[in-house]
Chain A
Amino acid sequence: MKPTQAARSTVSALATPLTQPAAEPYYHAVGDEVEVFAAAAQSQLPVMLKGPTGCGKTRFVEHMAWRLGRPLVTVACHDDLTTADLVGRYLIVGDETVWLDGPLTAAVRAGAICYLDEIVEARKDTTVVIHPLTDTRRALPVEKRGEYLTAPPDFMLVISWNPGYQSVLKEMKPSTRQRFVAVDFDYPQAEVEARIVAHEGGVDAATAGRLVKLGGLTRKLKGAGLDEGAGTRLLVHAAQLIARGMHPLAACTAAIARPLADEPDTRNALDDLIRAVF
């Protein structure tokens, strides 16, 4: 039975969007990550991006997808994410049932890059479905449909995780980890980071330099008041506020100090640092 018009329009409205940006997403390479990623893509190997929050992982994947000319599917994982959310499910439209591909299935069919952001946040059973995709089988069984999809050469699986998170209950199993080529991300060197902040935030080099200096100072507070220092993202946010005409002190307080800390001593110390740097 062919799906009706109504069913088709529902499915296309809900279908996973495959993004393929027209312009090159700006990314400033920090080490050899571009080469490693490209080589992994050619060898049809999955990649794991490790690193603290806001250091450019998502941007990097967007950039690489553009570079390789492949569509990108991004899934932000959370603790209620089920296998069906990834693979797909039947829907009922009016009186019909129609199948809707999940983002992973859509990516496999399209030969896209599938980026599972913060994979450890997902429910444990979801990691099981990615296993056959990450070894030589490169396969995705869609049990509900009785389908067994073999991934085309262009399909690539990329996952990210932040090893700074402390909970033991959020560890990744070795059997999962060891399937991936790993790329370590860290905060870029000061000059590089300043260039990124200037570009992304639309501020001059001097302001960017100070923001980066401030970021560096907060990173020394890791484990001494902060769980993690300010990532590049926070610096970019502050820069954007400054570019809009906000006073640097107010911008840094709002975009950097407040998001980082609640505890009074640390908050005050951050305020003092902001004042000292600007």
Chain B
Amino acid sequence: MSERKLFAHEIEARLDELLLLKLRQRSAERTARQLEALPRIRQERVLHWVGVAAQGANELGWLLASQGAEYAVELGDGFDAWARAGLAAHDGGGLDAARAAWRLAIEELRASAARPSGSVALAEVEGRLKRFLQALHGRPLRLAGASRAWTDGETLWLPERLARAADANGNRRLYTVLAVQLWAQGRFGSFNVDPEPELAQWADREMALAWFALFEAMRLEARLETELPGIVRDIRDLRGPWPAALQPAAESLARPEATTADSLAWLAEQRKVGAGETPIFPHLTGFDPLAARRLRAVRIARDSKTLRRALNIMRAVDPHSRGGAGDREQAPLAAEGDALPPDLQAEELQGLPPDAQAAAQSLQQDLDGMPPEILSPAGPGAWQPEEREESEAPVAEPDGRPDAVYDEWDYRREAWRRDWCHLYESEGPAGEDAWVEGVRSRHAHLIRSIRRRFESLRGEDKAERRQLDGEEIDLDAQVEARADRRSGSEPSPRLFIHRRQIERSLAVMFMVDMSGSTKGWVNDAERESLVLLCEAIEALGDRYAIYGFSGWARTRCDIYRIKSFTDRYDAATRRRIAGIEARDYTRMGVAVRHLSGLLQGQATRHKLLVTLSDGRPDDHGDEYRGRYGIEDTRRALLEAREKGIRGYCVTIDRHGADYLPQLYGPAHYSVIDDAKKLPRKLAEIYRKLTA
């Protein structure tokens, strides 16, 4: 490329070519004049992006050209990022979204010019921080923006923006340091002791909390040291050496056996000597034991209930396991702060369903161990399956005879309940045409790129060797034939390689959760992703069907046909996708049974049942929620497996989805933390799954 700047008329001609302006009777004269001032290399960048945008939609290209010319000088090197932001917005929300994103990006740019350089926004680090914390915690943790860093033990709040450190790297590191310390408060028991008696003795509560926070920070720093020395190094760099007056406290709280009670003892000490303000350290987070303890109490109650129930069920099934039912007084939870025995009966806990295991784990963290009362039965007599709130709302009246009846698995009896579920299959109601068209045009860009990706998957030819006929000679076969002739045996006439498109021989059933909990975002995301997915699978040519499921107790299990294996992906099908809506409950087992029956009828070699859901199995008012539903669903999936059907689950579950490995087996599910990501992810998952 020559260095010479393009003149306005040259730019105009290029834009003309890219945007077919003559045809549209538009003039790019003004835009071209604005761009004339730029260096050649920048001019080319702008033209490049105009071309890219115009491929998506001509109008988008025009918008980019006019807006870009306006701001090109101001944007400088940031032009590429700016252009990309608008194109991405266009994928999701069309021209208006692109216009808004571009305006926003300019405002951001102007705001950041006024900001100290090197500051970092939470939004920039949120993704990596979430992953980082998941690795520490083993489960996803919630992150949210706030004016200062603090945690209630369930959500970590972090400042929206950090500018304290000298550069961006430093500020990113500061985010990590703050997040780890907040995580450590929950992990190492900062909220396990009631600080109220001590706090009450202070005239200035804020001051007391500040000192408490400082002592806890000392203790947690030492606890972190063995696990995450790199973080502690960063903390030390931030805080410098402790002032001499604080040294004794820091040393004593660094002992491995120090607990929050020791921090409180130091707090009392501080009160007695007449504490002033705390010194300020840049690494300290906020500290709110009150809020955290409130949530902790709720959590303990919930988790003990879950755990007790599971243990009771287990002992009812196996009366020989320890602590047989009802022979011990039910004691209240051990008094707070009492020394509690460490975790008991590891092998017993192992036999529990995942939700109970998760409850046990969370209890151990909340209570520094597991009090024995929790592991003893909930009282004489049998277990309660689950609090029953039924008979409040009427169970839906079945209309007419069901299309099919199915057995259901009762894990407590280890027996089938015969003809338990009544299933009604009907055609899914039609939604609006306009909705699907909206999705298709909004995502035109994405759809095109997904289709390209999928087409290339299909386009992979497979070389079939040793054919009677073919495009190429099979050298191996030739050699063999020659050898055969020489050794006197009959040579094979199969001497060619034939290139054939790979036959995928795959049928896929999508089972879509239409339960009430999907209302709103999740339902939108489900529908959008189905549209994208259909576009993608059409490119591949796999056989597929889509059915929705919902229901209201066992006598009213509904299956909605959105697309059968023989239906084409036509306007009617698309309307039915648009018509998918949130209805009632999630009785999953019967849906799996019915749909795997339909799938089994397919003559393909591979069969795949993909569930799209937002949570665990659940149904109105009966025992289906909780373990019963999970066990029945698991059973149904096992039956499907025996029929040669592979199950896979894509879940948008904000509650961690601990039960999925048990249902689908490891590696046979994906959890998507944000419904908005589903449309992009689903096609990708499908591609991986069938590659």
Contact = CB atoms under 8 A, between A and B. Distances in A.
Contact of A166 (B135, B137, B668): B668
B132 A272 contact: yes
Given A168-B690, A220-B135, A220-B138, A277 B230 contact: yes
A231 B667 CA distance: 16
A218 B135 contact: yes
Contacts of A268: 127-128, 131
B592 to A, nearest CB: 17
B311 interface: no
Contacts of A166: 648, 667-668, 688-689
Interface in B461-507: 465, 476, 479-480, 482-484, 486-487, 504, 506
B222 interface: no
A6 B136 CA distance: 63
A266 B688 CA distance: 18
A23 interface: no
Nearest to B689: A166
Contact of B132 (A92, A165, A168, A269): A269
B670 interface: yes
Contacts of A165: 667
A224 B480 CA distance: 50
A92 B482 contact: yes
Interface in A260-276: 264-266, 268-269, 272-276
A183 interface: no
Contact of B671 (A97, A171, A224, A276): A224
Contact of B135 (A144, A210, A221, A278): A221
Contacts of B128: 264-266, 268-269, 272
B229 A221 contact: no
Contacts of B180: 276
Interface in A223-272: 223-225, 264-266, 268-269, 272
Contacts of B671: 223-224
A273 B135 contact: yes
A169 B176 contact: no
Interface string B626-661: 000000000000000000001010000000000000
A272 B176 contact: yes
B131 A269 contact: yes
Given A224-B131, A269-B128, A168 B606 contact: yes
A179 to B, nearest CB: 18
A28 interface: no
A168 B487 CA distance: 43
A16 interface: no
Contacts of A171: 606, 646
Given A97-B487, A269-B132, A167 B688 contact: yes
A163 B667 contact: yes
B134 interface: yes
A253 B671 CA distance: 27
Nearest to A225: B131
Interface string A166-192: 111101000000000000000000000
A163 B666 contact: yes
Interface string B97-141: 000000000000000000000000000000111111011111010
Interface in A212-226: 213, 217-218, 220-221, 223-225
Interface residues of A, number: 38
B483 A92 contact: yes
B689 A167 contact: yes
A84 to B, nearest CB: 7
A203 B504 CA distance: 48
B43 to A, nearest CB: 30
Nearest to A97: B483
B506 to A, nearest CB: 7
B691 interface: yes
A217 B138 CA distance: 8
A153 interface: no
B172 to A, nearest CB: 8
Given A84-B476, A166-B667, A213-B227, A265 B131 contact: yes
A165 B606 CA distance: 16
A66 to B, nearest CB: 32
Contact of A169 (B136, B227, B230, B606): B606
Contact of A275 (B129, B230, B484): B230
B483 A91 contact: yes
B306 to A, nearest CB: 22
Contacts of B667: 163-166, 223
A199 interface: no
Contacts of A164: 666-667
A34 to B, nearest CB: 24
A90 interface: yes
Contacts of A20: none
A131 interface: no
Given A84-B480, A213-B227, A268-B131, 6 more contacts: A89-B479, A164-B667, A167-B690, A171-B646, A265-B131, A274-B230
25 contacts: A82-B465, A84-B476, A84-B480, A89-B476, A90-B483, A97-B483, A144-B480, A163-B666, A166-B688, A169-B506, A169-B691, A220-B136, A221-B131, A221-B135, A223-B670, A264-B128, A265-B131, A266-B128, A268-B131, A269-B129, A269-B130, A275-B173, A275-B230, A276-B176, A277-B228
Closest 9 CB pairs of A and B: A90-B483, A269-B131, A265-B127, A97-B483, A268-B128, A217-B135, A269-B132, A276-B230, A276-B228
